Copies of this chain bind each other. A is one copy, B any other.
Amino acid sequence: MVTVPAMIDEVRVAVIGVGNNTSALVQGLSFYRATGSAVGVSRPRIDGLGVGDVRVVAAFARSDGKVGRDLHEAIFAAPNNFPRIEAGLPPAGVTVQRGLVDATEIDRVAEALKGAEVVLYSAPSGRPEIALAYAEAALAAGAAFVNTTSDPVARDVALVRRFEAGGVPLIGDDLASQFGTSVLHHTLLRLLEARGLTLTSSYQVNLGGTEDFRNLVENPNTKKQSKVNALGSDRVQIAPLGYLPHLGSQKIAHLNIEAQGWAGTAVSLDVRLQVHDPSGAAGVNIDLIRLAAAALRSGRGGYLPEAAALLKSPPGTAV
């Protein structure tokens, strides 16, 4: 017997920030709706919600090149460089609104967020006061808040309690990638250990061409340090990030692992990984959005532990 699915209400999302990650998300939503494909999707359904059930209904940006334009045009404005997935993307019917520049505008934004179930905060990291202002606006509007930046929002205990009290989900902080250097390096090191090999040395070099990369190169210490810690060994060295504009939204990583096996004989492993960072972000954002919507709809507020594996800095980790 074929089960007839109940009609599902679309998940209405507001995106804050119209950078590469938003471009990948928005283009992908169009791709999946048009093709019905499930390629590259980690979880086809989350609480019954499919990828094609998510719709962007509002978008906010700061740059003059994006504000006032249709979302499907704005995602290609400089310095965005995520490629065009398909020719002939029709207008989104969503005009990019001007984002807030300080906390006095929370009310205006909260008003504009009415009708959205999930606010995906996808602006550049490094402006925690802006992130918090958007979180306040989302709470006021009754929309779940997903913080993809490294700014501490879900690690703010008092704020989480207020979302909890309001029955509004709060997810964050700092998006993990669907498939990136860290998980690959970590998996290989763990495999070596499981097989009884002894790590001699290891390095990792990351090269990329996005604005994110440029920002990290100009302010390298935080990111680099967090990677070393994450890999848990002083035998692993992370080379400085390389900003190579011609790579566009591609990231290329070179990994090397030198180890010793039986009687100290050498084992060498060299890996080259090539991915699109914004795709890795979109592939996780689509899950966070659905987790948030499902929780909101069932009345669960505050932090969602089921999101932890998709985040680099969930509540409880150091700010």
A40 to B85, CA, bound (A): 25
| Chain B residues closer than 8 Å to A272, beta-carbon distance | 254, 268-271
A283 to B198, CA, bound (A): 12
When the two chains form their complex, are residues B28 and A263 in contact, meaning their CB atoms are under 8 A apart? yes
When the two chains form their complex, are residues B237 and A245 in contact, meaning their CB atoms are under 8 A apart? yes
A11 within 8 A of B: no
When the two chains form their complex, are residues B264 and A39 in contact, meaning their CB atoms are under 8 A apart? yes
| Chain B residues closer than 8 Å to A94, beta-carbon distance | none
Q: How many residues of A contact B (CB 8 A)?
A: 66
When the two chains form their complex, are residues B274 and A267 in contact, meaning their CB atoms are under 8 A apart? yes
In this complex, the member of A187, A263, A265 whose beta carbon has the largest number of chain B beta carbons within 10 angstroms is: A263
When the two chains form their complex, are residues A262 and B205 in contact, meaning their CB atoms are under 8 A apart? no
Q: From DSSP, what is the main secondary structure of chain A's interface residues? A: mixed
A183 within 8 A of B: yes
| Chain B residues closer than 8 Å to A262, beta-carbon distance | 24, 28, 40-41, 178, 279-280, 282-283, 286
Point out the residue from B187, B217, B247, B274 that lies within 8 Å of A266, measured CB to CB. B274
When the two chains form their complex, are residues B205 and A40 in contact, meaning their CB atoms are under 8 A apart? no
Q: A24-B262, A263-B27, A273-B269 are in contact. Are A42 and B196 (CB under 8 A)?
A: yes
Nearest B-chain residue to A283, judged by Cβ: B262
Nearest B-chain residue to A209, judged by Cβ: B237
Number of this chain's copies in the assembly equals: 4
A32 within 8 A of B: yes
| Chain B residues closer than 8 Å to A235, beta-carbon distance | 246
| Chain B residues closer than 8 Å to A241, beta-carbon distance | 240
Q: A178-B195, A203-B207 are in contact. Are A268 and B264 (CB under 8 A)?
A: no
Least distance between A81 CB and chain B CB atoms (Å): 13
| Chain B residues closer than 8 Å to A276, beta-carbon distance | 261, 265-267
Q: A205-B242, A273-B269 are in contact. Are A43 and B264 (CB under 8 A)?
A: no
Q: A187-B191, A198-B39 are in contact. Are A273 and B263 (CB under 8 A)?
A: no
A27 to B261, CA, bound (A): 13
| Chain B residues closer than 8 Å to A242, beta-carbon distance | 203, 205, 239-240
A184 within 8 A of B: yes
Task: Please name 8 pairs of A and B residues whose Cβ atoms are closer than 8 Å in the assembled complex, sorted by A.
Answer: A31-B263, A39-B264, A239-B242, A240-B240, A254-B272, A262-B282, A268-B273, A270-B270
Closest 6 CB pairs of A and B: A42-B196, A239-B242, A28-B263, A262-B279, A262-B283, A265-B279
